Amino acid sequence: MNRVGPAERRRSSASGTDRASAKRRVTIREVARLAQVSIGTVSNVLNNPSVVSATTRRRVLDAIDSTRFVRNTAAHQLRVGKSRTIGVVLLDIANPFFTEIVRGAEHVLRDQDYVLMLCSTDESANREHRYFRVLEEHRVDGLLVCPVDSDLESAVALVARGIPTVLLDRDGSSHGLCSAAVDDIRGAELAADHLFDLGHQAIALVNGPAAIRQCIDRKEGARRSVQRARRCRSASLQEIVVGALTIDQGEAAVAALLAAEPRPSAVMCANDLLAFGVLRGLAAAGVAVPEEMAVVGYDDVVFASMLSPSLSSVRQPKYELGVAAAELLLEEVTGAPHEHRAIRFEPELVVRASSTPRPVSVPRALLSP
């Protein structure tokens, strides 16, 4: 927060009068009157232009923009049953991972004149519940949701209530739900395998709340990896659970990380934000990365490659995830031929400095082709 408080300047007079003078919005009826046609005809030029003669259509169109008429979606919705809104419920809008997903979804949805109702739950089931309720009251045409709870009850309930729903970053096949997701178990395996391949024996997983499915799956992936590694040699996995998938929580986890027995020489994090925090905490504690502690994140958020040191991470195709989910939802919403299905993307490990034994120092000459 900045030191200097906000300075305010008054400019116009109280708005009590403003609202009093707020003129009634123009309706289809006034347009009709002005164009000397019936309201039905106006409605037709709006929704069924081909059915009305060119001349009256012109007249109506003129009336529309001379009155600055703007159709009322609520009335339309009440009649037709479509709101042209899509609810998007995710864990944390401040996380660039979700931001990219939203970008993808918005790009496909805006072309169809859908508008997004964005809801960030901050990983609170309570808030999620409330948002679901509000979105249902608004009669959203569909829902894109990354649920807080590990079970899919809330999402299943949504579908049961007749709201087309597509899961974001969560597989829905077990419950017959549409979804666009990445294999988290596999992703975590990639990360852990990488660390064991590097020769680390004791690795830690800084994980989010077990209520979040992604955290469970990523732990499972790590578990599988350590069990494989154990067949040839000593290998251990310790889990440090924090309260939320945020930078601050990642930083706070460092104390526990450094106190762990046996002390891990590598750490993987349930997402990049946690890893960012771990990196920061490690720096503050004077622990060299990757020499004294290797770090791997998850998501490969755009900033991961720019950190110091650059962060190894498990890449998820975020934008594509958003696009896929939105397209799936659109199919369902528009009633296009469609079967419920789970779209799955593959994760991909991106190795960078934070887990590379010694900084690769390539002669400059080799850099350009």
Partner DNA sequence: GTGAAAGCGCTAACAT
Partner DNA sequence: ATGTTAGCGCTTTCAC
> How far is 331 from 357, CA to CA, in rounded Å?
48
Asked if 61 is part of the footprint of DNA (rule: CB under 7 A), the reply reads no
Work out the number of other CB atoms within 10 angstroms of the CB of residue 283. Answer: 15
- Tokens 């007079």 locate to 13
For the beta sheet containing 294-299, the strands, ordered from the edge strand earlier in sequence to the opposite edge, are 236-241, 202-207, 266-269, 294-299, 312-315, 348-350
Asked if 153 is part of the footprint of a second copy (rule: CB under 8 A), the reply reads no
Asked if 80 is part of the footprint of DNA (rule: CB under 7 A), the reply reads yes
Q: Tokens standing for 322?
A: 């958003």
Q: Work out what residue 29 binds among a second copy, DNA, none; the CB cut-off runs from 5 to 8 Å by kind.
A: DNA
- What φ, ψ does residue 102 adopt, rounded to 5°? -60, -40
Q: Work out what residue 47 binds among a second copy, DNA, none; the CB cut-off runs from 5 to 8 Å by kind.
A: DNA
> How far is 51 from 54, CA to CA, in rounded Å?
9
Asked if 334 is part of the footprint of DNA (rule: CB under 7 A), the reply reads no
Residues present in the chain in total: 369
Q: Which of 15, 36, 47, 48 binds a second copy (CB under 8 A)?
A: 15
**With respect to a second copy, which residue has the nearer C-beta, 187 or 208?**
187
Asked if 134 is part of the footprint of DNA (rule: CB under 7 A), the reply reads no
Asked if 161 is part of the footprint of a second copy (rule: CB under 8 A), the reply reads yes
DSSP 175: G
Buried b (16+ CB within 10 A) or exposed e, 325-338: bbbbbbbbbeeeee
Q: Looking at 30-38, 162-170, 213-221, 335-343, which segment touches DNA (CB under 7 A)?
A: 30-38
Q: Which of 31, 32, 91, 135 binds a second copy (CB under 8 A)?
A: 135
HSE, CB side, 13 Å, CA atoms: give it for residue 128. Answer: 21
Q: Which residues contact 158 (CB under 8 A, 6 or more apart)?
A: 132, 136, 143, 145, 165
R_g (Cα) of the chain, nearest Å: 27
Q: Which of 229, 257, 294, 324 binds a second copy (CB under 8 A)?
A: 324
Asked if 161 is part of the footprint of DNA (rule: CB under 7 A), the reply reads no
Asked if 233 is part of the footprint of a second copy (rule: CB under 8 A), the reply reads no
Asked if 84 is part of the footprint of DNA (rule: CB under 7 A), the reply reads no
Q: Work out what residue 235 binds among DNA, a second copy, none; the CB cut-off runs from 5 to 8 Å by kind.
A: none
Q: Which of 15, 18, 51, 125 binds DNA (CB under 7 A)?
A: 51
CB of 182 within 8 A of CB of 317?
yes
- Tokens 């599988």 locate to 224
**With respect to a second copy, which residue has the nearer C-beta, 202 or 329?**
329
Count of residues engaged in binding DNA, rule: CB under 7 A? 31
**With respect to a second copy, which residue has the nearer C-beta, 43 or 238?**
43
Asked if 13 is part of the footprint of a second copy (rule: CB under 8 A), the reply reads yes
Count of residues engaged in binding a second copy, rule: CB under 8 A? 95
Q: Which of 28, 91, 106, 218 binds a second copy (CB under 8 A)?
A: 106
> How far is 82 from 86, CA to CA, in rounded Å?
11
Asked if 176 is part of the footprint of a second copy (rule: CB under 8 A), the reply reads yes
For CA atoms 320, 209, 267, 235, the dihedral sign is negative
CB of 207 within 8 A of CB of 239?
yes
The amino acid occupying position 286 is G
**With respect to a second copy, which residue has the nearer C-beta, 239 or 320?**
320
Q: Work out what residue 52 binds among a second copy, DNA, none; the CB cut-off runs from 5 to 8 Å by kind.
A: DNA
Q: Which of residues 28-67 bind a second copy (CB under 8 A)?
A: none
Q: Which of 18, 58, 66, 78 binds DNA (CB under 7 A)?
A: 78
Q: Work out what residue 358 binds among a second copy, DNA, none; the CB cut-off runs from 5 to 8 Å by kind.
A: none
Residues that bind DNA (CB under 7 A): 24-25, 27-29, 36-44, 46-48, 51-53, 55-57, 69, 71-72, 75-76, 78-80
